[in-house]
């Protein structure tokens, strides 16, 4: 009787295991359309690219080229802005600064040139009112020959014209983010690249991420980061988890929510890059899609070099297209095709 019972249990266990296997197999997401898009556009993507989609912290889609892998670091241009903003919010959590503090509280020279009404929030939302030079991000980076952030930001105070009242107009560029980066240095009494490594990169395990400038020039908080796709996904997973990474709190839930909230939606548009046409701006990142109530559900921070990280709070996933040498004329269209194909595959599941 006992032997019969054991044998029956064994057969039942095998049957259940087989049924679970079939269920898991049938639940596999069909990414054939996404693979076809990548294959069709390999010339545009170049020889060095990786495309990743993660759900619940696991890769559900990964496509790497032969010469570029998930953990290969490369410059990420404007995708740096999201990282810098997160660092500023860490200092907000620590009570060292407030988003609505005037910049002059930390950099008094701004008050000498009638620029005392600019706040840290204005800096992170590109609404400082200071004149910008709307050229390619890399041209801006190449012009950054300052020996320190202090020297660069002081030049903004003394030389940049006021073309709008702070908060009235949106003009995308590097000025505000770099001012915020300098405030980080003033408050912590450390260089920007050192602070972001200590307070953000190490806690999230972003081993390849750095703002260190090998040329000896000032670190550039707006476009100067180097990072791998793997590390940037860790960063977005932390945001998706409302500030927690590996059971450790990096940012408060309130600060994450503030970062993902559209800022000054009524501000007039003075300049916005073609990559983000139709998007709204939060703090350091774009609100790419909204729900019926106007709340953000998809957030991104595209860079001119070919990096497009996105976070989807509705589908609970993060993804990134990381192309080192991409055809600039087709970036936005291809990025959106890749994301749409990934969304469609998941929605069919």
Q: Is position 23 within any domain?
A: no
Higher pLDDT among residues 83 and 14, named by residue: 83
Number of domains in the chain: 1
Note whether residue 10 is domain-resident: no
Q: What is the CA radius of gyration of the chain?
A: 23
pLDDT of 325 reads 73
User: pLDDT, tens digit, for every residue of 130-164?
Assistant: 998 755 544 444 455 799 999 999 999 999 999 99
- b/e sequence 23-51, b meaning 16+ C-beta within 10 Å: eeeeeebebeebeebbeebeebbbebbbb
Residue 273: give the domain boundaries: 32-348
For the stretch 250-268, pLDDT in tens is 999 999 999 999 998 889 9
Residue with tokens 């992170």: 124
Instruction: Say how many CA atoms lie within 13 Å of 258 toward its Cβ.
Output: 18
pLDDT tens digits, residue range 188-213?
A: 999 999 999 999 999 999 999 999 98
* Domain presence at residue 9: no
pLDDT digits (tens, 9 = 90+) for 97-137: 999 999 999 999 999 999 999 999 999 999 999 998 755 54
Q: Does residue 25 belong to any structural domain of this protein?
A: no
Residue 27 belongs to a domain: no
Residue 7 lies in a domain: no
Please state the pTM of the whole predicted model.
Answer: 0.89
Is residue 26 in a domain?
no
pLDDT at 6 exceeding the cut of 60: no
Task: Supply the CATH number for residue 281's domain.
Answer: 3.40.710.10
pLDDT in the model for residue 14: 46
Domain for residue 282, yes or no? Answer: yes
pLDDT, tens only, 274-324: 889 899 999 999 999 999 999 999 999 999 888 999 999 999 999 999 998
Which residues, in sequence order, are CB contacts of 141 under 8 Å at separation 6+? Answer: 77, 220, 223, 224
pLDDT value, residue 215:
83
């Amino acid at each position: 009787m006992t032997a019969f019972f054991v044998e029956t249990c064994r057969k039942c266990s095998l049957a259940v295991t087989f049924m679970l296997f079939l269920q898991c197999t049938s639940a596999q997401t069909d990414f054939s359309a996404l693979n076809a898009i990548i294959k069709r556009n390999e010339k545009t993507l170049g020889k060095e690219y990786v495309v990743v989609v993660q759900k619940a912290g696991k890769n559900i889609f990964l496509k790497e080229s032969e010469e570029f892998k998930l953990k290969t670091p490369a410059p990420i241009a404007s995708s740096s802005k999201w990282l810098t903003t997160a660092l500023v919010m860490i200092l907000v959590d620590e009570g060292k600064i407030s988003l609505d503090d005037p910049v002059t509280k930390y950099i008094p020279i701004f008050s000498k040139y009638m620029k005392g009404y600019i706040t840290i929030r204005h800096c992170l939302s590109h609404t400082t009112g200071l004149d910008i030079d709307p050229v390619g991000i890399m041209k801006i980076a190449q012009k950054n020959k300052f020996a320190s952030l202090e020297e660069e930001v002081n030049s903004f105070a003394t030389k940049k014209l006021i073309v709008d009242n702070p908060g009235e107009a949106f003009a995308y560029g590097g000025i505000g983010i770099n001012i915020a980066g300098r405030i980080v240095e003033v408050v912590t009494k450390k260089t920007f690249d050192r602070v972001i490594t200590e307070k953000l990169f190490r806690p999230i395990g972003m081993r390849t991420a750095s703002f260190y400038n090998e040329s000896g020039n000032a670190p550039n908080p707006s476009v100067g980061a180097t990072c791998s796709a793997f590390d940037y996904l860790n960063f977005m997973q932390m945001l998706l988890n409302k500030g927690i990474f590996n059971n450790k709190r990096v940012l408060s839930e309130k600060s994450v929510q503030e970062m993902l909230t559209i800022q000054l939606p009524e501000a007039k548009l003075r300049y916005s890059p073609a990559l983000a046409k139709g998007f709204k701006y939060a703090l350091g990142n774009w609100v790419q899609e909204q729900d019926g109530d106007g709340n953000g559900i998809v957030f991104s921070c595209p860079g001119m070099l070919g990096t497009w990280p996105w976070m989807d709070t509705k589908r609970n996933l993060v993804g990134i297209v990381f192309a080192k040498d991409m055809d600039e004329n087709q970036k936005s269209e291809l990025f959106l095709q890749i994301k749409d194909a990934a969304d469609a595959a998941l929605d069919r599941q």
